Structure 1
Amino acid sequence: MTKGGQIPAPGDVPQDERRLKLAQAVRGADLDRVVAMLPDAFRAPQHTVRSTLKWIFEAAERDGINLLDPPEDFQAWLGAPLGETRSGPDTAKPNTVRTRLTLLGAMYRALYDEGLIGRDPLYGFKRPPAQRKLNYLPSREAIERLIAQADDPEMKAALYLITWQAFQTGEVLGLKWSDIDPQRGTILRRRTETHVAPEVLQALQNLADKQGGWLFSKGWVMTIRTDAGFRQALWRTCKLANTDYVPPSHLRQAALRDFGNILSAQDAGYVSPKAYAEALDLARGVLEEQKAYPAAEPNTGAEDS
């Protein structure tokens, strides 16, 4: 075959109809057909394979890259789509990049077994190191002090959502008053309907009261509209509480650590019970590590409180 997406000579085209269609699908960056025609190649559900590899296939289609017979600079080109997410270039976490490479490698192994390629285009590609597990989460005492020092009812409500119900930052920023049912004590979040703790509902009640009550609260719950703006507001609140800055993701993990025994998967925002169990294991593993190595805990301001 020729390089760079050129049409191969007739003798290079697979004679078997299925293999011909598979070759055309890969060459044309038709991800849906590739996944459907290689059902046993991936150790993951088809929807997961599609959502994971779409960045690579969409970039290949856009840039005219022939994935069946990649050009010489394929590995240099591959770095960009591997690192891309909805947040922009170079925003994918190391484990996400590794997962994409794993599934892409599985596709190429299947193509090799089909006799469609004679070499592995990923051979020698350097994978990023695996992402380390969390080694610190703030104590519940530090979190309660942080919430108490939040003089803005909006930030206080956001902290309750994150540290009690394991809300993601995007879920907090995307929350509308119409998503909250105060009578039932539920919130419709990104993936699930969550039953919220009375303390969380009270924090939202206090915020609604500033707008005249539930009936008069319309639109977005948060006036902060960007992730960067939220992190800046959280940083200021941490300063008021005399604590080190704690990323929202760590506060969310602390919710799983502290309330995982009473939160259902849906109440923590998880559709998959298996994914929820894995998240709980991670958060509880951090707790055990902190018990073993308490000196590693950053400043929580306790000595000044």
Structure 2
Amino acid sequence: MGRCLREVLLGSHRLRRMKTLPTLALAGCLCWLSAPALQAQQLRLPAMSPTVRLHEDFSTSFIELTYARPSKRGREVFGKLVPHGEVWRTGANSSTRIRFGEDVKFGGQHVPAGTYALFTIPDPKEWTFILNKDTSQWGAYDYRPEQDLLRVTAKPRTSNTALESFSLGLENLQPEAAELTLRWDKVRVSVPIVADPDARIMAQIQEAMKGDKKPYFAAAQYYYSTNKDLNQAISWLDEAIRQQPSYYGYYWKGKMLQKAERKTEAAEAARQSLALVKSEKNARTKDEYTRLNEQLLKEVGGKRK
């Protein structure tokens, strides 16, 4: 091949001397030259259905979504491009995958932590959402119902505005609840996802309180937000303040005392917070905690001294 290359590069006067070289051999030389050139000119084109990888903090862990986003491109979607009554990959390319970092309830049914393929069966009146254990499928061509973990149904809604690209994500996100929402064209359909991490968190608190660095403040806030033993929460907060007095510590103590209907003590905690926040150098933080404590004093009927 090296000899052939040299023959081509010598120019036309050298080629005239190659009249005795078989035409096929010369063609072989030129083909050898063109192959690397073609390899070097590979094109990077926009994806027709871009891949989306979504990682969302949820409860004490996360939810992950991996799917490809097809677009309408002037086509009629549901009932045509995506037939009614048939299992759909819920996106494009590989089947859509959803991963739960902890046990959840999906549409009211229990789902162990893990990764699942997400299929749907579209219908004008009622959609079916399917979690399937086989996550290695391309599309829904090899879909096997015996691999289903569960099926749940949901009512679709119609929007006045058509969405060009398919969308799947978490909406109405709360600490322990969310909605898996599918949108495309004028269709919107959601399935509730609910976690119940209380038992795990309580076990974590119990174990952490045995250690040297006890999470007094975090544990107290969890008790406050979940309506658990307020006396225990206030006791933990007192210990956190004893170790490191802070305006936010006293503010939260005031909120907990207010919830326990100990208004006089709540007002005193707010005044202590106001006294400490005076030395805060961040103006926005200083203004915010000043406002919060003044609001707390107003709610418990206390006065700023």
What is the TM-score when the length of structure 1 is the normalising length? 0.26
What is the TM-score when the length of structure 2 is the normalising length? 0.26
Larger strand fraction of residues: 2
Q: Which has the higher contact order (CA 8 A, sep 6+)?
A: 1
Larger helix fraction of residues: 1
